[in-house]
Amino acid sequence: MEQVKCLIIGSGPAGYTAAIYASRANLQPVLYEGVLPGGQLTTTTDVENFPGYPEGVSGTQMMEDMRNQALRFGADIRFGIVTKAELAPNHNKIVIDGETEIEAKVVIIATGASAKYLGLPCEAKYAGMGVSACATCDGFFYRNKTVAVVGGGDTACEDALYLSGLCQKVYLVVRKDYLRASKVMQERVLNSEKIEVLFKHEVIDLFGEDGVEGAKLLKNRGGEEETSTLAIDGLFLAIGHNPNSKLFADYLDLDANGYIVTEGATPITKVPGVFAAGDVADPRYRQAITAAASGCKAAIEAERYLMEN
Ligand code: NDP
């Protein structure tokens, strides 16, 4: 079985930053990129709030830059998905793609989070045929068409704005009577001629022969409910994310929403030598910059742990 000093699981800003720090500290990190190399940022448009990019930068470019920076210092970046993990101090056994076993002295978990769905049977029925949780991946297929985005946060606003550049019309379906997104995003959405915000509405079903042709909506008017239909060609979900922590649930403490619990503001988990960084352990901030910072902290803790053990 291959033995490594430092294994990093995940390739978003947390994983790559951990790899940069760990390789510069000569921990010879091995990083497995997971299902979506580069993580969630590869599915967004421009990142405008990461310090150091006054003109903004595409999420994909930023991830490529971080990856190259880690490679420059010798990080061993591999394509592969962790399918099993047995965590124990100094002897963490990790299985890659169901077959390759690796033993690692320290593990940095930076597996991020995955998009949430509404949980309606129609979402599975129309998966890839009109339902998507990634506007930047699939928006292209809806050029000059009409789509709806569900959600009222920054992601939903960002997706609606991105789609408004491609589509004829974009509905933003928001279950409350306000947007949760930052003010600047709210203003952009509310000032867009192509976006119509439907407050207090929920999507309860989809219909269509060979793909989505419309959505059934439920409107809440102060206790009274009313249904209606909306003709759309595609539905984009932007209602938040679930942390990718299931693999570690038998060994680490998770909070009620599945986020890995760490010691205060550190990435230290309850298993010595196992650290959690980025969105998988951050129910509160979930930003590229905070993920990168926690990846840095995790690598520093890993270095300390290896020195002491
Ligand atoms: P949020 O958790 O902030 O927002 C989720 C939205 O989806 C809320 O409006 C919520 O409604 C709604 N929602 C949740 N479940 C359902 C449901 N079942 N049916 C209908 N609506 C639902 O998630 P985001 O992904 O938008 O953002 C996550 C974090 O990432 C935030 O901190 C955000 O600021 C950040 N972010 C920053 C960006 C940037 O700065 N460029 C870009 C994207 C994200 P309700 O309000 O009713 O709960």
* CATH number of the domain bearing residue 160: 3.50.50.60
Gap between the Cα atoms of 101 and 303, Å rounded: 23
- 157 noted as active-site residue: no
Domain boundary among 213, 237, 261: 237
How many CB atoms sit inside 10 A of residue 207's CB? 13
* Full-model pTM: 0.80
Residues 19 and 38 both lie in one domain: yes
Per-residue pLDDT reduced to its tens digit, 204-251: 999 999 999 999 999 987 778 899 999 999 999 999 889 999 999 999
How many CB atoms sit inside 10 A of residue 238's CB? 25
Residues 231 and 260 both lie in one domain: no
Using a 6 Å cutoff on CB, does residue 151 contact ligand 1? yes
**Catalytic residue from among 138, 159, 233, 282:** 138
Using a 6 Å cutoff on CB, does residue 156 contact ligand 1? yes
Residues 125 and 201 both lie in one domain: yes
- For residues 284-297, one letter each, b for 16 or more C-beta atoms within 10 angstroms of the residue's C-beta and e for the rest, the string is eebbbebbbbbbbb
Using a 6 Å cutoff on CB, does residue 125 contact ligand 1? no
Ligand 1 atom closest to Cα of 48? 41
The backbone region for 139, taken as left when phi is positive above 0, alpha when psi lies in -120 to 50, beta otherwise, is: alpha
Q: Name the residue with the closest Cα to ligand 1, atom 21.
A: 151
Residues 229 and 280 both lie in one domain: no
Per-residue pLDDT reduced to its tens digit, 2-29: 999 999 999 999 999 999 999 999 999 9
Using a 6 Å cutoff on CB, does residue 49 contact ligand 1? yes
Terminal CA-CA length for the chain: 21
Diameter of the chain measured on Cα atoms: 64
Residues 132 and 222 both lie in one domain: yes
Q: Name the residue with the closest Cα to ligand 1, atom 5.
A: 239
Backbone angles phi, psi at 236, to 5 degrees: -110, 125
Residues 110 and 133 both lie in one domain: no
Q: Collapsing DSSP states into helix, strand and coil, what is residue 153? A: coil
How far does the centroid of ligand 1 lie from the alpha carbon of residue 279, in Å? 14
Domain boundary among 210, 237, 264: 237
Residues 245 and 225 both lie in one domain: no
Residue range of the domain that includes 152: 117-237
What pLDDT is attached to residue 137?
77
Q: Collapsing DSSP states into helix, strand and coil, what is residue 159? A: helix
Look up residue 280 and give its two tokens. 């998988």
Please check whether residue 148 is in contact with residue 171, taking contact to mean a CB–CB distance below 8 angstroms.
Answer: yes
What mean pLDDT comes out for the span 75-86?
Answer: 98
Residues 148 and 198 both lie in one domain: yes
**Catalytic residue from among 65, 97, 137, 255:** 137
Residues 58 and 89 both lie in one domain: yes
Give CA separation, 30 vs 4, 81, 160, in Å: 7, 13, 38
How far does the centroid of ligand 1 lie from the alpha carbon of residue 154, in Å? 6
Residues 125 and 230 both lie in one domain: yes
Q: Name the residue with the closest Cα to ligand 1, atom 37.
A: 154
How far does the centroid of ligand 1 lie from the alpha carbon of residue 240, in Å? 5
Q: Is the confidence at residue 286, as pLDDT, over 90?
A: no
Q: Is the confidence at residue 270, as pLDDT, over 90?
A: yes
Mean pLDDT score of the chain: 95
Using a 6 Å cutoff on CB, does residue 155 contact ligand 1? yes
How far does the centroid of ligand 1 lie from the alpha carbon of residue 2, in Å? 41
Look up residue 121 and give its two tokens. 């049977």
What pLDDT is attached to residue 92?
98
Residues 224 and 124 both lie in one domain: yes
How far does the centroid of ligand 1 lie from the alpha carbon of residue 33, in Å? 25
Residues 143 and 155 both lie in one domain: yes
Domain boundary among 237, 252, 267: 237
Q: Collapsing DSSP states into helix, strand and coil, what is residue 295? A: helix
Q: Collapsing DSSP states into helix, strand and coil, what is residue 235? A: strand
Count structural domains, the chain: 2
Using a 6 Å cutoff on CB, does residue 40 contact ligand 1? no
Per-residue pLDDT reduced to its tens digit, 121-159: 999 999 889 999 889 878 999 999 999 999 999 999 999
